[in-house]
Structure 1
């Protein structure tokens, strides 16, 4: 019998997401049509932990079954470099000369943006509505922040189900990142 609980991490203990984050990277690699080998360099330490440590603010929500993590959502607030050529701390490419940039190339880009970094539900728990719950909680937090006017979500190539999920929830395709390795989606807040 399942005993599902959802809790917001308030003590900074993101370590409980290690296994799930590593599963997410393997899931993304399996779905990827472009450069799946790039996911070999992405794991909890290089992706989630690094982003958590560099964020201006962050929220981690964990879904558990009898105390065992089965899904999570990880959101951040990040500063956007005025040149728009900067990359997040976790990004695999750090040389702006080799990529068009991680952020949209808009005339009026805010100084801060919210980002739903990771949303993952373990296989066997995906048809329980947990993803929608974690998404709603994450959006509620990001939308409540007065200095966050833009919310971005980055989806790895090949994960069409995730792209469709976000599009159906009011997000709009923005641009390709790293020549299509990642697709960026946005939504204005307020």
Structure 2
């Protein structure tokens, strides 16, 4: 597979339906990699994860890669506002109502008020290893860094997805904390 016929665009019209199939593929991919509670991914799909998060985010960006006009990958990023004293747990999160669930962000004393979050990054099988994931990642990081009050970016990697975790660690992210008892591993990077 070569890069001819591949385009990358930032969605400007808010029509994220173009990502529905890709997001659902990502959830199935994460389930296939999971070593802990793979059944939790059965409740995760475009409507419960990406669409809900997109609708609630004040700042968001979706970048789509297409091959001959057909979507083959995407990156979805948000700028999140962390409310002090509240446990920020997304609606889609598994185990969110269980006792002892501490929240999505670390309990750092000086946690920034606004943070970037690379929520989804996915390239369809057959188009991986063309550098598209790296390109979408760079574009997402540049967008998050463009906000003067965003100092830190978080990425949440589903359990069992060692390749994704290694990718982010290779790009300067550091392990931050486990979420939901290790169901998700969080990595972070200070960008300012």
TM-score (normalizing by structure 2): 0.95
Shift of 1:96: 6.9
Matches within 5 A, 1:41-80: 41-80=43-82
Q: Between Structure 1 and Structure 2, how many residues are aligned?
A: 190
1:48-99 CA deviation, whole Å, 9 max, x = no partner?
Answer: 0000011120000000001000000000011112125121233234337331
Matches within 5 A, 1:1-190: 2-95=4-97, 97-190=99-192
C-alpha separation in 1, matches of 2:96 and 2:35: 22
Question: Residues 173 and 84 of structure 1: is their aligned pair in 2 closer, same or farther, counting only changes over 3 Å?
Answer: farther
The SS at the match of 1:108 is coil
Shift of 1:31: 0.1
| Conserved 8 A contact 1:78-1:115 | yes
Question: Residues 150 and 106 of structure 1: is their aligned pair in 2 closer, same or farther, counting only changes over 3 Å?
Answer: same
| Conserved 8 A contact 1:48-1:90 | no
Question: Unaligned 5+ residue runs, structure 1?
Answer: none
Question: Residues 114 and 10 of structure 1: is their aligned pair in 2 closer, same or farther, counting only changes over 3 Å?
Answer: same
| Conserved 8 A contact 1:86-1:101 | yes
C-alpha separation in 1, matches of 2:125 and 2:22: 11
C-alpha separation in 1, matches of 2:158 and 2:59: 23
C-alpha separation in 2, matches of 1:30 and 1:84: 32
Shift of 1:150: 1.2
How large is the RMSD of aligned CA atoms in angstroms?
1.3
C-alpha separation in 1, matches of 2:164 and 2:147: 24
1:131-151 CA deviation, whole Å, 9 max, x = no partner?
Answer: 000000000000111121110
Question: Unaligned 5+ residue runs, structure 2?
Answer: none
